[in-house]
Amino acid sequence: RKMEDYGRFLALLASTLLVGFLSVILSLVWVFHYREGLSWDGSLGEFNWHPVLIITGFVFIQGIAIIVYRLPWTWKCSKLLMKFIHAGLNTIAMILAIVSMVAVFDFHNARNIPNMYSLHSWIGLAAVIFYSLQLFLGFAVFLLPFAPVHLRVALMPIHVYSGLTIFATVIATALMGITEKLIFALKNPAYSASPPEATLVNCLGILLVIFGSLILWMASRPHWKRPPAENAKILRPIAATPEGTEVESTMTNSNADKSDLRGNTEAVRKQNIKFDEAGQRSTM
């Protein structure tokens, strides 16, 4: 049963990577076959860095960064190493997103096109700001060794939620950007005449939605989480009781269905229940 589940995870991961690579390739086909290619001279070739870098960095690399803890062959690596990889991939994604924004501002300024007027630009800029904040806070709280355990436990659900929400928002913003670009760029034949470029880029948009959905599915399955590690021992608040060890051993047996933090709060909750029960029994 466990091998079957492992196979299912691998199949899903392979599909996700395939859809992600295909998206990057389609963005390159769009830019090189139908548009002006890539350059850095204030021309449309500079603008074209925007979709390519957003899809490569802000969608594909961010997506991989989100599920990097789920890869079963990394479970023997230390949690710290995995945190560095998670933070590193997100840093690369952030840099690419910022460079891709610079490309658009540069292009707009060279052509006297106003900046920041569209809903795409408003939500996109907000997404980059929140993403940077998330990265900074994640670094300060979960990677640096200074934050106390109760703060990490309290912030982890918020970190997960805001990470996934920002990721979804980035994909939504990419879809708006595709819509804008196709309307502006396609004249004679127009977007509404469905030329091959329109069909190709619509398919790119669909792939982005599928990629996002697959990442969110893999990230939200509790039984695909990295199993609780030894640091659960450090985190466990009530260490003196023999029941503590019992609870932990059952956690390790139940395996792979809780992250260390969630597993830990779960253990604490179970212990509290046990204490409650004990209390009730003694008053009975």
Shortest distance, position 244 Cβ to a copy of itself, whole Å: 15
Residue whose CB is less far from a copy of itself, 125 or 143: 125
CA distances from 131 to 93, 125, 219, 267, 275 (A): 10, 10, 18, 32, 41
Residue whose CB is less far from a copy of itself, 85 or 108: 108
Binding to a copy of itself (CB under 8 A) within 62-91 occurs at none
Would you call 162 exposed, middle or buried from its count of C-beta atoms within 10 A (0-12, 13-18, 19+)? middle
Residue whose CB is less far from a copy of itself, 135 or 200: 200
Query: Cα separation of 132 and 5, whole Å?
Result: 35
Query: Cα separation of 219 and 163, whole Å?
Result: 11
Q: Is 182 in the site for a copy of itself (CB under 8 A)?
A: yes
Neighbour tally for 37: CB within 10 Å: 12
* Candidate segments 12-20, 83-91, 92-100, 205-213, binder of a copy of itself by CB under 8 A: 205-213
Neighbour tally for 102: CB within 10 Å: 15
Q: Is 129 in the site for a copy of itself (CB under 8 A)?
A: no
Query: Cα separation of 184 and 117, whole Å?
Result: 15
Please name the residue ranges forming H helices in the chain.
Answer: 2-29, 44-47, 49-53, 62-67, 79-111, 119-138, 149-185, 196-220, 231-235, 242-254, 260-283
Residues 6+ positions from 207 with CB-CB distance below 8 Å: 19, 22, 23, 26
Residue whose CB is less far from a copy of itself, 92 or 106: 106
Q: Is 216 in the site for a copy of itself (CB under 8 A)?
A: yes
Q: Is 117 in the site for a copy of itself (CB under 8 A)?
A: yes
* Candidate segments 2-10, 26-34, 97-105, 109-117, binder of a copy of itself by CB under 8 A: 109-117
Query: Is 58 within 8 Å of 49 (Cβ atoms)?
Result: no
Residue 42 DSSP class: S
Q: Is 273 in the site for a copy of itself (CB under 8 A)?
A: yes
Shortest distance, position 201 Cβ to a copy of itself, whole Å: 7
Residue whose CB is less far from a copy of itself, 32 or 217: 217
Quick one: which of 5, 36, 180, 243 contacts a copy of itself (CB under 8 A)? 180
Residue 43 backbone dihedrals phi, psi, to 5 degrees: -90, 180
Q: Is 95 in the site for a copy of itself (CB under 8 A)?
A: no
Q: Is 193 in the site for a copy of itself (CB under 8 A)?
A: yes
**Site for a copy of itself, rule CB under 8 A:** 113-114, 117-120, 122-123, 126, 157, 161, 165, 168-169, 171-173, 175-176, 178-180, 182-184, 191-194, 198, 201-202, 205-206, 209, 213, 216-217, 220-221, 250, 253-254, 257, 269, 273, 276-277
